[in-house]
């Protein structure tokens, strides 16, 4: 069972609406990732950060996507103005270290449907 908790499991939004997803990483994991998995099982890295600091993010993320991991609060990923192409499973993962071990612990995801 995953110890990375994502909420909500499902959300449905209209185009142009905000969509917000939350993630509680595994206890003691300071590094958090957000990935987008589309219906074709293609994964797209969105952003990662360590504690509250952004490590890397893709260009798309900088325009409509925002993410944060405030101290003592769940991490979040927000899409400011949802588009149909944003419909996907959004996966949060955490890691003990940002060193190159790659062993990520994934949540079950938040499935976004944009009508």
Partner 1 sequence: AQSVDQPDAHVTLSEGASLELRCSYSYSAAPYLFWYVQYPGQSLQFLLKYITGDTVVKGTKGFEAEFRKSNSSFNLKKSPAHWSDSAKYFCALEASSSFSKLVFGQGTSLSVVP
**Smaller CB distance to partner 1: residue 6 or 82?**
6
CB 43, min distance to partner 1, A = 4
CB of 73: closest distance to partner 1 in angstroms? Answer: 22
The residues, ordered by sequence, that sit 6+ positions from 12 with a Cβ below 8 Å of its Cβ are: 112, 113, 114, 115
Residues 6+ positions from 56 with CB-CB distance below 8 Å: 45, 47, 48
Nearer to partner 1 by Cβ, of 67 and 104: the residue is 104
Query: CA 51, 109, 41: angle at the middle one, nearest 5?
Result: 115
Q: How far is the CB of 15 from partner 1 (least distance, A)?
A: 28
Q: Least distance from C-beta 14 to partner 1, angstroms?
A: 27
Q: What is d(CA 36, CA 28) in angstroms, rounded to the nearest whole number?
A: 24
Strand partners, 37: 43, 89
Residues that bind partner 1 (CB under 8 A): 2, 4, 31, 33, 40-43, 45, 48, 55-56, 91, 93, 95, 97-109
């Amino acid at each position: 069972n995953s110890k990375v908790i994502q909420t909500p499991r499902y959300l449905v939004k209209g185009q142009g609406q905000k969509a917000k997803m939350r993630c509680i990483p595994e206890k003691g994991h300071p590094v958090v990732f957000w990935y987008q998995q589309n219906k074709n099982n293609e994964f797209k890295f969105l952003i990662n950060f360590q504690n509250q600091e952004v490590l890397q993010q893709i260009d798309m993320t900088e325009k409509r996507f925002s993410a944060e991991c405030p101290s003592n609060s769940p991490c979040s990923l927000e899409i400011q103005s949802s588009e149909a192409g944003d419909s996907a499973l959004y996966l949060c993962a955490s890691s003990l270290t940002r060193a190159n071990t790659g062993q990520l612990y994934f949540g079950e995801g938040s499935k976004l449907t944009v009508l």
